[in-house]
């Protein structure tokens, strides 16, 4: 079965998250949740989206070139966006305090923490997969080298 092309994936409508960040003088951050680690930023929303489109192209090219899966956009229509979460009082207090220090709502703070944790997890999973692939290649090379006759100095 032939693999799908770069153009195929670039033609898909991936949902984009766009948020204004107030640190470092303020900037616009963008992310494609369905492509873990595909993020960018810019001084304006337009610049951030333009930069994200380039990051998306590079992300997909890299994954295709290395044989990694490229996920298609998830269908979010079946989700309301509401989640009921029960926390210990101490955790609720600490998270509320942290959100207040950052000048954002508790909900925004929780969303950011969840998105960051999810992206970190996805990146670690991809890294772990890459390390395992490299380990397999190294073992195969070591096995091939072990089958050769040793090279000795001065032998003709």
Answer whether 69's CB lies under 8 Å from 60's CB: no
Name the pLDDT band for 125 (thresholds 50, 70, 90): confident
Read off the tokens for 142: 């070591």
Rounded to two decimals, the pTM is: 0.50
Residue 77, in any domain of the structure: no
Answer whether 70's CB lies under 8 Å from 63's CB: yes
Cα separations (Å) of 73 from 42, 52, 107, 119, 137?
23, 16, 25, 16, 31
pLDDT digits (tens, 9 = 90+) for 65-76: 998 889 999 876
> In the prediction, which pLDDT does 2 show?
52
Helices (H), the chain: 6-10, 45-65, 89-102, 106-146
Residue 155, in any domain of the structure: no
pLDDT for 141 beyond 60: yes
Name the pLDDT band for 155 (thresholds 50, 70, 90): low
Q: Which of 16, 46, 72 is the last residue of a domain?
A: 72
Residue 80, in any domain of the structure: no
**Residues 80-118, buried b or exposed e (16+ Cβ, 10 A)?**
eeeeeeeeeeeeeeeeeeebeeeeeeeeebbebeeeeee
Residue 114, in any domain of the structure: yes
User: Mean pLDDT in the chain?
Assistant: 87
pLDDT for 77 beyond 70: no
**What's the structural domain count of the chain?**
2
Residue 49, in any domain of the structure: yes
Residue 154, in any domain of the structure: no
**Where residue 55 sits, what CATH number does that domain have?**
3.30.160.250
Position with higher pLDDT, 1 vs 125? 125
């Amino acid at each position: 079965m032939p693999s799908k092309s770069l153009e195929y994936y670039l033609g898909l409508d991936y949902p984009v998250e766009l948020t204004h960040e107030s640190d470092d003088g303020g900037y616009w951050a963008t992310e494609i949740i369905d492509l873990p680690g595909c993020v960018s930023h810019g001084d304006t929303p337009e610049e951030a989206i333009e930069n994200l489109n380039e990051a998306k192209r590079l992300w997909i090219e890299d994954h295709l070139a290395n044989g990694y899966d490229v996920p298609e956009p998830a269908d979010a229509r079946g989700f309301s966006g509401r989640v009921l979460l029960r926390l210990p009082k101490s955790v609720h207090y600490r998270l509320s305090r942290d959100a207040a220090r950052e000048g954002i709502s508790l909900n925004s703070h929780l969303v950011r923490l969840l998105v960051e944790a999810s992206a970190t997890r996805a990146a670690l999973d991809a890294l772990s997969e890459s390390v395992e692939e490299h380990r397999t290649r190294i073992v195969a090379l070591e096995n091939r080298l072990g089958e050769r006759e040793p090279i000795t100095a001065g032998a003709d």
